Amino acid sequence: MKKILLPTDFSDNSIKAIGYALKIFKNAKCNFYLMHTYMPPVYNAEYLVGSPGLIGLGDVMQETSMTQLEKLKSRLEKEHSNPNHNLVIHTAFNTLVNEVMETVESEGIDLVVMGTKGATGAEEILFGTNTVHVIRKANCPVLVVPPNFEYENPMEILFPTDYEIVYNKEKLSPLLHIANEYGSQINVLHVSTGYELTTDREKQKKGLEKILGNKALFHNVPNNEIIDAINAFQAKEKINLLVMVQNKHTFMERLFIEPVIKKIGFHVTIPFLVIPQF
């Protein structure tokens, strides 16, 4: 039984991300945790000691949160009726990031699925702040779904890598599950630096080949910026899912340091699965 956490702020983006999760795992037995967190905008030390003007505000917000979650659960059960799926609602007085971290730990969550932006996301921002923090801190894979993405089966998966890590079959299990379920082709993309692979990298490449087996095609492109290489590959091939391992050597840190798309020229238009560091 998979355990999948679905944070929501009830924005269209977050609800579409939830719909994507329910569809892509339609054949898997899953417990889905619909999570909403609330925090009074005036929350401070004064709230903790019970300011007369704030007494009961948390209760009102909790009730509102529960009501919205119940409505969303009913809607999802009607639109995505599936005997394999069980939806559980979860509300908490906490920040979203802290509650996600705590729930991942306490419930043994296998995957977090969320939108790239929240209700107030500006068009030019690549990932919302909460999404960035969840990706950085979560000890489980995170799948982010961009706005306006219409569901399609992940038949073609792009997996950029620099072969700088020792690959682990268990850690890559979310990728392998999807590829097995859909008969997907995994396009492993390595950007050449103009030199032969070191002995260690060659060994790590062979390890990855063994794990992925006949599901993978290995591509080596000329010396280039990794972001440019990903964009160029997506322009030529119909890719349905982007998968990366978040290790310190990848371009992902630059993604988070420079979150404005214009600065880095990286456009997330397909779901993006981020696997934590090995």
Fold of 2-145: Rossmann fold (3.40.50)
Identical fold at 2-145 and 156-273?
yes
Tens of pLDDT along 20-29?
999 999 999 9
DSSP annotation of 223 reads: S
What are the Cα distances from residue 60, in Å, to 35, 44, 53, 74, 136? 17, 17, 13, 21, 32
User: Is CATH 2.60.40.1180 the classification given to domain 156-273?
Assistant: no
Tens of pLDDT along 89-147?
999 999 999 999 999 999 999 999 999 865 444 444 456 678 888 888 889 999 999 88
Buried b (16+ CB within 10 A) or exposed e, 83-94: eebebebbbbeb
The model's pTM: 0.86
In the chain, where the domains are located: 2-145, 156-273
